[in-house]
Structure 1
Amino acid sequence: MLSGGFIQKYQTTKDNVRFYVEEGLLTPARHGRNYWYSEADGSDFEQIKALQEMGFSIAAIQQIREQHDKHCGTTEQWRFNLNLIERELAGITQQEQELANRRAGLEDLRDQLITRLGDSE
């Protein structure tokens, strides 16, 4: 299918698709000046979106794709993916701690303001 059909089918934008092509995440066939997207490209697009929804960066998705292309179904690929997921989980844990600290600070300020407002009435 041509770019317009792909964009419509997957409810995305021309810029988004162009970016994925430039980053090597989508590899449609070229027919003259046009790109032709296969069902495999559609599957790749859906996988990219799913990984992004999990919080993976474009760089991480490129690494996942590279490992898949080189070592599909091997323990090397699985170890790589496990390591990547462990790093992502560690990052989430750190973000959760930062949010908990931020919440505690804001709750403390809120309580101070409530106390001051109660004292002034």
Structure 2
Amino acid sequence: MNDPTREAMLTDAPSPARQRRTYSIGELAKLFEVTPRTIRFYEQEGLLEPERRGQTRIYHDKDRVRLKLTLRGKRLGFSLAEIREVIELYDAMPDGNARQLQRLLEILAEKRANMERQLEDIRLMQRELDDVEIRCQEALDNLRRQPSR
């Protein structure tokens, strides 16, 4: 299975030419099919750090990669705190990539365990629904067999 964070880091690492590429909030919103409000929210949460020129936000390739990782993390069920932690680990140290990947594996294992518990809960609920449905159908069949008064 591919690691989306590692893949993004490897395939989206800014080249010297791309480091100069900047984006407006509208361009990023269109690129990722989100609203500018979503981008401002992620900025407020510390996941994006655009350059400011007066009231204008200037997003660099680093912000584009962070937004991509954030949106992938959300799709995988990561909390914003978990996403922030993984991104900060990567930014913090030269060996951040190894630590980031280790932490990402831990989070994925937690998510998988939670999903397994949820699946078992769903299976139990399905069995209970099946049982109630069978009893209701039997009661209805018994009522139908009784002569009308």
* Fold conserved between structures, TM > 0.5: yes
**Deviation at residue 21 of structure 1 after TM alignment:** 0.0
Partner of 1:73 in structure 2? 97
In structure 2, the partner of 1:50 is 72
Within the candidate set 97, 102, 119, 2:125 is matched to 102
Q: Which amino acid aligns with 2:44?
A: E
In the other structure, the counterpart of 2:63 is 41
- Letter of the aligned partner of 1:95 in structure 2? Q
Does the CA-based 8 Å contact 2:66-2:87 persist in structure 1?
Answer: no
Deviates more, 1:4-13 or 1:58-67: 4-13
In 2: Cα distance, 1:93 partner to 1:113 partner = 30
Matching of residue 29 in structure 1 with residue 51 in structure 2 = yes
Distance 1:91 1:54 in 2: 12
TM-score norm. by structure 2 comes to 0.73
Point out where structure 1 has 5 or more consecutive residues left out of the alignment. none
* Aligned residue identity for 2:40: R
Secondary structure, in 3 states, of the residue corresponding to 1:30? strand
* More deviation, 92-101/34-43: 34-43
Aligned CA-pair RMSD? 1.5
Residue identity over aligned pairs, in percent, reads: 23
Letter paired with 2:62: A
Structure 2: give runs of 5+ residues left out of the alignment: 1-22, 145-149
Residues 31-83 of structure 1: CA deviation (Å, up to 9, x unaligned): 11110112332222121111111111111111111221224232x33332222
TM-score normalised to the size of structure 1? Answer: 0.88
Higher RCO by CA contacts (8 Å cutoff, separation 6 or greater): 2
One-letter identity of the residue aligned with 1:102: M
Deviation digits for residues 90-118 of structure 1 (CA, Å, limit 9, x no counterpart)? 11111111111111111111111111111
1:2-21 → structure 2 map (5 Å cutoff): 2-21=24-43
* Amino acid across the alignment from 1:80: R
For residues 31 and 97 of structure 2, the distance between their equivalents in structure 1, rounded to whole angstroms, comes to 30
